Amino acid sequence: MTATKIDGTAIAKSIRERISQEIASKQNANPRYKPSLVIIQVGERSDSSTYVRMKLKAAEEAQIACDLQKYPEDISEIELLEQIERYNNDANVHGILVQLPLPGHIREYEVTSAVADAKDVDGFGGPNIGELAKKGGKPLFVPCTPKGVMVLLEESGVDLKGKNAVVLGRSDIVGAPVSYLLRNADATVTVCHSKTKDLQGVMKSADIVIAAIGKERFIKGDWIKPGAVVIDVGTNYVPDDSKKSGQRLVGDVDYDGAVEVASMITPVPGGVGPMTVAMLLRNVVNAADSYFDRQKSRHVTPLPLKLQDPVPSDIDISRAQHPKMINKVAAEVGIAPSELEPYGAYKAKVSLDVLDRLKHRRNGRYVLVAGITPTPLGEGKSTTTIGLTQALSGHLGRIAFANVRQPSQGPTFGIKGGAAGGGYSQVIPMDEFNLHLTGDIHAITAANNLLAAAIDTRMYHEATQKDGPLYRRLVPEKKGKREFAKVMFKRLEKLGINKTDPNELTEDEARRFARLDIDPETITWHRVLDVNDRHLRGITIGQAPTENKVPPRETSFDISVASECMAVLALSTDLKDMRERLGRMVVASSKAGDPVTADDIGCGGALTALMKDAIKPNLMQTLEGTPVFVHAGPFANISIGNSSIIADRVALKLAGTELDEDHNAKTGFVVTEAGFDFTMGGERFMNIKCRASGLVPDVVVIVATVRALKVHGGGPEIKAGAQLPEVYRTENLECLRAGCVNLAKHIANARSYGPNVVVAINKFSTDSPAEIDLIRDAALAAGAQAAVPANHWAEGGPGAADLAHAVVDAAEKSQPENFKLLYPLTDPVTARLETIARKMYGAGSISLSPTAAHQLETYTRQGLADLPLCIAKTQYSLSHDAALKGAPEGFDLPIREVRVAAGAGYLFALAAEIQTIPGLPTAPGYLGVEVGEGGEVEGLF
């Protein structure tokens, strides 16, 4: 009989056509679906180049993007490995194929093993081969030639179960892996090689012969069992004068002899070769499918809580929970390993590259947590932010991020304590969260103080040098050439000087360039320190004998988080934007009345260099292992009191949906917190942060407590550390009902911007059911969509599950198109101040001090008036007066001073005596802090 030829060319063509149709169908659902392969070829071997051309042509036919990267024969191994790592980290590359063989100086195993498992479409990496060899193993990819052999047998209708299969050849590329596949198909497999004894006898018993020994026409026809199926994997070149190349391709089997004995046989060429290429394409498509599936299959596995009653201290709860490794937290939400920069085991920075990778995604839902006017004890806003996120991510199955501010060490060691949340709803490790973290605040401190030093230094040198020497020292000649530093072109542009050669400036131009002529009375830039230190509120500098050319001047320190550099970090949208903002920060006025900026001094680039890593958000986790971004911590009284735009943008993309996902069903949540009450942090979130970011919240959660509302209903003053008066420990509906006017005002304020409002009633053990019901009824009457009691402090995520359901429902009903800002920037500053005071605070009027009026005139003249506003006032009242509780109306709001944060992009008006560097109490928090023998921090709260 004559064997049936198994036409690999035809079968491979059919497979490629099916792959092409499959890709087209998937692209209809998701236009971003474009399987991509990179082929790495080292040197120019003719046989390798032939194979590469076949792969490129087949990939093009199948609509697979294929990029051939050629490297010289003498490339070093480490350079080649660097290139592979680059493609490993490229999200647009789904498969990587290293064309073999490699030059002798490069270790093949090292190179093939360097390809990421998820992109090892050749299937030669250790994990894939290892899984293939295991019984029941699950390799991501099967090597292409062995896989092609199996598909040829399947397409030819060969039933392998119980058949005797002989594999001639034991290579890692074909022989070994094909033997594993045959075994997994229930064949009885014998692996032979050139030194196998009685090879012909073994071959005679084979129902299936796989020839992969690499020797031309090694297997003779009379070795083959009549009716056997023969798959010839051999590729051997023999001389042939009839061919243009002078050689032709033959297999490991003597085809002419075998074809008369076998029942089926593959020709060479035209058998296994085309199938190898087809299987490569199949693997690339599978790799792309896996990548896109991973983008949609993100899931957070919550850590179990070990609840105790009574609830232990925050630090004890934190220490009792063993956190996930931070790379696991990142992997669960789809952060690529190359986008993660670990700082130890439990915290990391996230590269902004993630924004480019996920720019196609629809954003997740955006939730702002604010509060009613608080007591000195705080009403659990941070705790609610964490508890709500734990519920959303750990118990409702949504990807959810808590985006919170980084705490200053000032309150941590002072009276307020840390800001990690509390009870069973907190960020862990709590001590790392509250102490240093990744050094962002230290970077801001360094940048701020560099600028402060530069201001005084510039004043000193201008006072001690004439125009010519001053200019020549600012732009010195180096190696016979004088050049402007890059930053200097910003000042030249500001002055309208369009020259690039320092030697071409006229004397007047050089003088105007070199002399900032700062008026010392107008300097607004202070030095900073991340410590509460009342004794730095007023200092005198320049008293050393070496500084006698410039009179001493009075200045002060602020706490680091009050620095405009911190506000810039919070409001920047990317690194370039941060550089521009830092450069345009106004630090003083010249004696002529012109604004002097950081770029005028020449500091903008250096400040950016100090803060370039700080711009990356910090990833941590909650007590239940759900993700948290900790980034920026602007002082909530005088600044925006919100975490960063960048952290929100990154989280919204990570929590968002792919183009082919059901958005309502799958979208995640980003829960961020505004400092103090809605009228402070919330108003600034809307009018400053949203204006800068272009992001719009879907839901506002207002946190309320029975305790705080009773204060607004006429209850006695609450003092930190003192016993709560009885009215706060027992049911008192009358006092509570009177205080609900404060809650109603905050709900009305939040609703005026457009988002739906949900009230979170943060429960304490002393709250009665009647009191909870009263708050719920008052909130609904005031326009809240829902009002839900939550016990997340004592129960963690489960205690906020009802609140989470309410937030999801409110988010699904959100109408972002209805969002509106409180005022346009075209209105005069006084009109904008009045709008905030009347609509947000309930004031009847405002009054400007002469100082404030003069400052506004100056800013208007300098072109700095068209900026959003931030009003610094007490957090303990809707008004400027902490004694006015409830919802006062008709009062006059005094504006004693107005300052500009030109880099951050807002004006801030001081409506009260706000200390920008707090002091320490008699018994500060640091008294309880200690370090145990094992290095554990104790006593933080």
pLDDT for residue 636: 81
Omega of the bond leading into 429 within 30 degrees of 0 (cis): yes
Q: Is residue 23 part of a domain?
A: yes
Residue 420 gets which letter from DSSP? S
Q: How far is CA 881 from the centre of its chain?
A: 40
CA nearest to 584, candidates 510, 491, 646: 491
Q: Looking at the structure, do residues 563 and 634 belong to the same domain, yes or no?
A: no
262 shares a domain with 364 = no
Per-residue confidence (pLDDT) for residue 151, from 0 to 100:
96
Q: What is the pLDDT of residues 668-699, one digit of tens each?
A: 999 999 989 999 999 999 999 999 999 999 99
pLDDT at 384 over 90: yes
Residue 453 reports pLDDT greater than 90 = yes
Give the pLDDT band of residue 749 (cuts 50, 70, 90).
Answer: very high
Whether residues 698 and 555 fall in one domain: no
DSSP-derived 3-state class of residue 632:
coil
- Pair (29, 133) in one structural domain: yes
Same domain, 483 and 597: yes
- Give the mean pLDDT of the chain: 93
575 and 629 part of one domain: no
> Which of 7, 26, 41, 99 does the annotation list as catalytic?
99
| Per-residue pLDDT tens digits for 72-123 | 999 999 999 999 999 999 999 999 999 988 999 999 999 999 999 999 999 9
Q: Could you tell me if 802 and 835 lie in one domain?
A: no
Domain coverage including residue 891: 829-910
pLDDT digits (tens, 9 = 90+) for 617-644: 999 999 999 999 999 999 888 899 999 9
Do 44 and 81 fall within a single domain? yes
* Mean predicted confidence (pLDDT) in 346-351: 98
Compute the average pLDDT of residues 525-546: 91
Q: Is pLDDT at 145 greater than 80 in this prediction? A: yes
Please confirm, yes or no, whether 416 is among the known catalytic residues. Answer: no
Q: pLDDT tens, 352-378?
A: 999 999 999 999 999 999 999 999 888
* Residue 918 included in any domain: no
Residue 49 has pLDDT above 80, yes or no: no
φ, ψ for residue 611 (rounded to 5)? -110, 10
State the CATH number of the domain containing residue 867. 3.10.410.10
Confidence grade of residue 926 (pLDDT, cut at 50, 70, 90): low
Q: Answer yes or no: 99 catalytic.
A: yes
Handedness of CA 871, 873, 876, 878 (dihedral sign): negative
Do 851 and 811 sit in the same domain of this protein? no
Establish if 895 belongs to a structural domain. yes
How much is the average pLDDT of 588-616?
97
What does the DSSP assignment read for 189-223?
EEEE-TT-TTHHHHHHT-SEEEE-S--TT-B-GGG
Contact in structure between 412 and 929 (CB atoms under 8 Å): no
Interval 647-663: pLDDT, tens:
999 999 999 999 989 99
In a domain, 920, yes or no: no
Indicate if the pLDDT at residue 920 is higher than 80. Answer: no
Average pLDDT over residues 161-172: 93
Range 414-433 average pLDDT:
82
Query: For a pLDDT cut of 70, what percent of the chain falls above it?
Result: 97
Give me the pLDDT at residue 934, please.
Answer: 73
- Judged against a pLDDT cut of 90, whether residue 247 lies above it is answered with no
| pLDDT tier, 242 (very low <50, low <70, confident <90, very high otherwise) | confident
Catalytic (active site) residue 308 = no
Catalytic residue among 26, 63, 119, 122: 122
In a domain, 293, yes or no: no
Active-site entry in 7, 26, 41, 55: 55
The 3-class SS string of 466-511 reads CHHHHHHHHCCEECCEECCCCCHHHHHHHHCCCCCCHHHCCHHHHH
- pTM (global) more than 0.75: yes
- On whether both 410 and 433 belong to a single domain, the answer is yes
Domain boundary among the residues 560, 576, 607 is at: 607
pLDDT band at 434 (very low <50, low <70, confident <90, very high): confident
